Amino acid sequence: TGRLSGRTALVTGGSRGIGRAISLRLAAEGALVAVHYGHRTEAAEEAVAEIEAAGGRAFALRAELGVPGDAEALWAAFDKGLSEYGAEPGLDILVNNAGVTLPKRIGDVSEEEYDRLFAINVKAPFFVIQQGLGRLRDNGRIINISSGVTRIAMPNISAYSMTKGALDTLTLALAPELGARGITVNAVAPGFTYTEINPTLKVPEVLNAYAATSVFNRIGRPSDIADVVAFVASDDARWVTGQWLDATGGAHIG
Ligand code: NDP
């Protein structure tokens, strides 16, 4: 039995990239993991199969984020998935990880792109949290996946950086409200991490340049982030709330 046994976790965007690594790690600690995804069913099924092959418990649920009624649809799918799994209703750990990027400078961003970016990265987690609070048990965890770019200027992704800044502010603003219930709210901020969100990392010069921003001179692996999330999700982090945890590999510190 792991330190999360008996707990239920929901990882948005848990099917691929950083979210998949988080799902695998929380499941390895004993949590039942609801692996959320938006479009690619086979990736979600693969994540669940990987968890089960390692002896863990998981199920997949689909809900597209960034569209009207998204949070409600997500929670309906979550409730249905739990009951079909034969598990108790409710959850202990909510990881708001699903997100998209927009690699454009301010001059190139259309109003439509801006609205979609904010709908997925900001509005969706806000209402997922709002509608999840009744399901989240006392002493639970809310973990928002932010980014190093809320503290490191990157003009080529300014609108994206703003969405993560909004998530950081929500993290801070919500923590006092949920303290009475023992629920912690924290943000974990990855740096450049090797996933499909960063197709340019396939270009060796880009990869090397990004790697050089870390004191460890490498790109992050999804598991580097998942291990930090697992700590925040555990009882060991019960006295940490309203915080922004750097998981950038010491990017740009010297
Ligand atoms: P990936 O693109 O690899 O994975 C994204 C995940 O989110 C997938 O599971 C995807 O599922 C889901 N998702 C995306 N859009 C939607 C949507 N509209 N509705 C529902 N689900 C959706 O991304 P990463 O793993 O790289 O990123 C995860 C988080 O980490 C994001 O919030 C990102 O901003 C953040 N981050 C990433 C960094 C990096 O360098 N990789 C650096 C800093 C932060 P599906 O495809 O099925 O829709």
Q: Looking at the domain assignment, is residue 41 inside a domain?
A: yes
Q: Looking at the domain assignment, is residue 221 inside a domain?
A: yes
Task: Indicate which residue of 37, 85, 114, 160 is catalytic.
Answer: 160
pLDDT tens-digit series, residues 61-82: 999 999 999 999 999 999 999 9
What is the Cα 166 distance to its own chain's centre? Answer: 14
Q: Looking at the domain assignment, is residue 52 inside a domain?
A: yes
Q: What is the pTM of this model?
A: 0.98
Range 42-48 average pLDDT: 98
- Report the number of distinct structural domains present in the chain: 1
**134/63 Cα distance (integer angstroms):** 19
* 141 pocket-lining for ligand 1 (C-beta < 6 Å): no
* 96 pocket-lining for ligand 1 (C-beta < 6 Å): no
- In this prediction, residue 213 has a pLDDT band, given cuts at 50, 70 and 90, of very high
Tokens of 190: 């990855």
What's the pLDDT at 67?
98
Average pLDDT in the chain: 98
Cα 99 to averaged position of ligand 1 atoms, centre (Å): 4
Active-site annotation holds for 160: yes
Bridge-based pairing of strands 32-37 and 136-145 is unpaired
**141/35 Cα distance (integer angstroms):** 16
Provide the CATH number for the domain around residue 159: 3.40.50.720
What's the pLDDT at 159?
98
Q: Looking at the domain assignment, is residue 13 inside a domain?
A: yes
Q: What percent of the chain has pLDDT above 70?
A: 100
What's the pLDDT at 254?
81
Q: Looking at the domain assignment, is residue 74 inside a domain?
A: yes
Range of the domain at 75: 8-246
DSSP helix/strand/coil, 25: helix
Q: Looking at the domain assignment, is residue 251 inside a domain?
A: no
Q: Looking at the domain assignment, is residue 254 inside a domain?
A: no
pLDDT at 1 over 90: no
* 99 pocket-lining for ligand 1 (C-beta < 6 Å): yes
Q: Looking at the domain assignment, is residue 2 inside a domain?
A: no
Beta bridge partners of 189: 246
Range 173-192 average pLDDT: 98
Range 207-219 average pLDDT: 96
